[in-house]
Amino acid sequence: MNDQIRARQVRVIDEEGEQLGIMSPRDALQEAEQRGYDLVEVAPKANPPVCRIMDYGKYRYEQKRRARESRKHQHTVTAKEIRFRPKIDKHDLENKVTHVREFLGEGFKVKVTVMFRGREASHPEFGRAVLQQVLEATKDLYIEDHRPTDTRLEGRTMSLMLTPVKAAAPAKPEPPARTPGPPRAE
């Protein structure tokens, strides 16, 4: 920018985007100062390097504003994790499956994990049975991008990831319908 440009000759573009030609950086800087702007090198690898006459402060501000706007509109997908045990009771399983269904309905990815302790790890079929029950209870809410038979015991855990069918937008509650009341006395 300005005095930091070290090339012998530069191609200059003015603030409206018109080419002013090839000139020395000193002449280009004088032209920029006469117009009340900065001289900014925009393509240093070009032959000759390309410099633009612009308001550098305004340019930086607009870049930051665009970056802020793009961050505002991007959607981050978060994953929820629900942990099960191989010897889980029927009611506890139903309760946790309810949570899995809620998370999938809200558009979250859900990691279903079965954790083994002690000698439970020697019977991974119990963990697969739990995962199969979860898959059966939620089969209408997830995209099948895996096969439950492929789940392996990794250390002391067995897990799989459920991706929701579609990221459901939170439903807006409808305003209650107005019912005509009794006539008002005037």
- What does the pLDDT average to over 113-121? 89
Report which secondary-structure segment, H or E, holds 82: strand 79-84
Could you give the C-alpha distances from 33 to 30, 38, 55, in angstroms and in order?
5, 7, 11
Q: Give yes or no for residue 43 having a pLDDT over 70.
A: yes
Q: Structural domains in the chain?
A: 2-57 (3.10.20.80), 79-164 (3.30.110.10)
**Given 3-state DSSP classes, what are the helix, strand and coil percentages for the chain, each rounded to the nearest 5?**
40, 25, 40
d(CA 17, CA 19): 7
pTM of the model: 0.50
pLDDT band at residue 96 using 50, 70 and 90 as cut-offs: very high
What pLDDT is stored for residue 168 in this prediction? 45
pLDDT tens-place string over residues 128-173: 889 888 888 888 888 766 655 566 778 888 888 888 887 544 444 5
